[in-house]
Amino acid sequence: MSHEKYQSCIEICQACAVVCEHCTSACLNEQDIQALKRCLQLNRDCADMCILAANLMARGSQFAVQICALCADICKACGDECDKHKHMEHCRRCAEACYRCEEECRKMTKAAKAA
């Protein structure tokens, strides 16, 4: 797998990780942290998975396609959770970034499997 072919997916994964980290930090400053517990957990999982996916794509790993499929699933779960808190700007932005990353990872895995 050539990393140049998946540069868009790499960049979107990296951007999603940053947005998830920002959302985590912002959630920790909210009044009712307990209500955001699942959001916080998924943000951390999503950020870590997005970085892993980007790194594996960048190095052309044979496991990049499988990791990107899992990344899409985690991004979907994180996006769905953040969407529940979309009245908070940071969660709304995070949901958008997660859904965008999910879509890009699904496109990447579909294209890689078709090749």
pLDDT tens by residue, 72-108: 999 999 999 999 999 999 999 999 999 999 999 999 9
CA distance 15 to 17: 5
Q: How many domains does the chain have?
A: 1
Domain that holds residue 103: 3-114
pLDDT tens by residue, 55-69: 999 999 999 999 999
pLDDT tens by residue, 29-51: 999 999 999 999 999 999 999 99
pLDDT value at position 3?
A: 63
16's tokens: 């999603």
- Per-position b or e across 55-72, b if 16+ CB within 10 A of its CB: ebbbeebeebbebbbebb
Cβ atoms 24, 83 nearer than 8 A: no
Between 82 and 5, whose confidence is greater? 82
Distance of CA 27 to the CA centre of its chain: 17
Between 4 and 97, whose confidence is greater? 97
CA distance 84 to 65: 29
CATH number of the domain encompassing residue 108: 1.20.1270.360
